């Protein structure tokens, strides 16, 4: 008896030593609510989750919400809810480093849209002023080229990023030289990375490219003497240039947009105008954690094979997957320490609910073209 008691004590002590006491996970399968995908609260939660996704990213373009494809809500004991969101998204023309709000960015024109789906786990606790995105994953694709070609033969096609054509690099250099002459006072801009490259036929090839630039200082007394950008140089802006060439002349109109604050600067506070309170102490606590997810860019699906005289449609899928636990009854979610929640208030996270959609889902799309809506 004494032995079992002390064993029990030992187990208790060990339990206390592990990071968290045995979670108060309920013994029955938790009840998942299925709110409408057009519910105003759901739309606002989805918009905030997408804002956090964009904030978390270091590369690519800001994604905007096209529609809520599915939502499950797990109301937590005490206060707050864990949301399991499936969001249909559209790429905008703003780079994530611009740190703009997705609502302030334009989506790309239909013929070179990039669209896809994000899955996100999002914890919202308004009484405690917590909005926390522990995990997300997205998959995006360019709009099917074969479909675009049918409706618009000259419309541009995305070209894979591996551009080794020296002519194009030379033209980018010429463009940057012009930019440097015009605005590069005391500094010089250099190509950092090509982020998008398209080709379009208009009486010959027209290349449309977007690229990040970095900068290096120049010696004021000797303007020709500019340093090379350091190895860890960060992009300071994004330029868009159109390269149109015939045998005689080359035209390179374009423009650059410079990011307001550099990505290396102190973490910025959230703009105050949102109706829903922002996370507690978000300005005080540096975000030292790694990324919470990623956006995978998949290529245009290959053109279907012709079988029995019928073109087989390529199967377009958006295999985004997030999972923080495989435990059917869920696990306690460890929040960053700056969220001052007591242990018993910590939320439970479940495996991402797959399977049937909620009844009133998907919600209405902002842009309801089948070409840019995931199935």
Ligand X SMILES: *[C@@H]1O[C@H](CO)[C@@H](O)[C@H](O)[C@H]1NC(C)=O
Among 130, 116, 151, residue whose Cα is nearest residue 82: 130
Q: Does 326 bind ligand X (CB under 6 A)?
A: no
Assess 323 for contact with ligand X (CB under 6 A): yes
**Interface residue with ligand X, options 153, 308, 321, 326 (CB under 6 A):** 321
> Can you tell me the distance from the alpha carbon of 327 to that of 351, in angstroms, rounded to the nearest whole number?
7
| Cα dihedral across residues 336, 339, 345, 347: positive or negative | negative
The token duo for 343 is 């242990």
Instruction: Draw the binding track, 102-141, toward ligand X (x: CB under 6 A; -: no contact).
Output: ---------------------------------x-x----
Contact region with ligand X (CB under 6 A), list: 4-12, 20-28, 228-236, 320-328: 320-328
Binding of residue 38 to ligand X (CB under 6 A):
yes
Pick one of 2, 5, 222, 248: the residue that binds ligand X (CB under 6 A): 222
SS3 (DSSP) at 11: helix
**Which residues have CB under 8 Å from 179's CB, separation 6+?**
189, 239, 256
Instruction: Candidates 19, 162, 337, 370: give the one binding ligand X (CB under 6 A).
Output: 162
The answer to whether 47 contacts ligand X (rule: CB under 6 A) is no
Task: For the segment 226-255, give every residue that binds ligand X (CB under 6 A).
Answer: none
For residue 49, give the 3-state DSSP assignment.
helix
* Cα-Cα-Cα-Cα dihedral sign, residues 175, 181, 182, 187: positive
Residue 57: phi and psi, rounded to 5, are: -85, 150
| Structural contact between residues 112 and 144, judged by C-beta atoms closer than 8 angstroms | no
- Residue 56 or 91: the one with the smaller Cβ distance to ligand X is 56
Q: Is residue 362 reached through a cis peptide bond, with omega within 30 degrees of 0 on the bond before it?
A: yes
- Residues near 159 by Cβ (< 8 Å), separated by ≥ 6? 197, 198, 199
Under rule CB under 6 A, residue 194 binds ligand X: no
User: Minimum CB separation from ligand X for residue 177, in Å?
Assistant: 21
Closest CA to 346 of 36, 48, 24, 60: 24
Specify the residue, 270 or 360, whose C-beta has the smaller distance to ligand X.
360
The answer to whether 221 contacts ligand X (rule: CB under 6 A) is yes
Cβ nearer to ligand X, comparing 178 with 367: 367
Which one of 75-83, 219-227, 243-251, 336-344 is the stretch in contact with ligand X (CB under 6 A)? Answer: 219-227
Site size toward ligand X, by CB under 6 A:
13
Which residues make up the interface to ligand X (CB under 6 A)? 38, 135, 137, 162, 164, 219, 221-222, 293, 321-323, 364
């Amino acid at each position: 008896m004494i032995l079992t008691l002390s064993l029990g004590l030992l187990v208790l002590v060990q339990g206390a030593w592990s990071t968290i006491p045995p979670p108060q996970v309920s013994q029955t399968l938790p009840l998942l609510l299925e709110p409408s995908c057009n519910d105003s609260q759901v739309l606002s939660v989805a918009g905030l989750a997408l804002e956090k996704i964009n904030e978390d990213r270091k590369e690519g373009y800001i994604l905007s919400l096209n529609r809520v494809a599915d939502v499950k809500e797990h109301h937590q004991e005490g206060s707050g809810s864990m949301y399991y969101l499936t969001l249909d998204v559209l790429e905008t023309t703003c780079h994530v480093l611009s740190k703009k709000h997705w609502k302030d960015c334009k989506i790309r024109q239909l013929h070179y849209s990039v669209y896809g789906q994000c899955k996100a786990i999002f914890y919202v606790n308004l009484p405690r002023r917590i909005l926390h995105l522990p995990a997300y994953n997205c998959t995006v694709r360019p709009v099917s080229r074969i479909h675009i070609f049918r409706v618009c033969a000259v419309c541009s096609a995305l070209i894979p990023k591996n551009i080794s054509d020296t002519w194009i690099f030379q033209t980018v250099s010429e463009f940057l030289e012009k930019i440097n002459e015009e605005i590069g006072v005391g500094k010089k801009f250099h190509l950092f990375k090509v982020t998008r490259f398209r080709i379009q036929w208009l009486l010959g090839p027209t290349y449309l490219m977007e690229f990040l630039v970095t900068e290096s200082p120049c010696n004021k007394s000797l303007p020709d003497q500019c340093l090379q950008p350091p190895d860890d140089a960060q992009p300071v802006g994004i330029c868009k240039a159109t390269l149109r060439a015939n045998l005689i002349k080359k035209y390179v109109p374009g423009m650059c947009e410079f990011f307001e604050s550099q990505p290396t600067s102190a973490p910025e506070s959230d703009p105050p105008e949102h109706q829903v309170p922002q996370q507690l102490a978000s300005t005080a606590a540096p975000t030292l954690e790694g990324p919470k997810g990623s956006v995978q860019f998949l290529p245009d699906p290959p053109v279907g094979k012709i079988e029995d005289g019928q073109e087989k449609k390529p199967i377009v899928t958006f295999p985004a997957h997030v999972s923080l636990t495989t435990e059917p009854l869920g696990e306690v979610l460890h929040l960053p320490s700056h969220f001052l929640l007591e242990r018993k208030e910590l939320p439970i996270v479940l495996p991402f609910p797959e399977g049937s959609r909620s009844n009133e889902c998907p919600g209405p799309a902002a842009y309801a073209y089948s070409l840019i809506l995931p199935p």
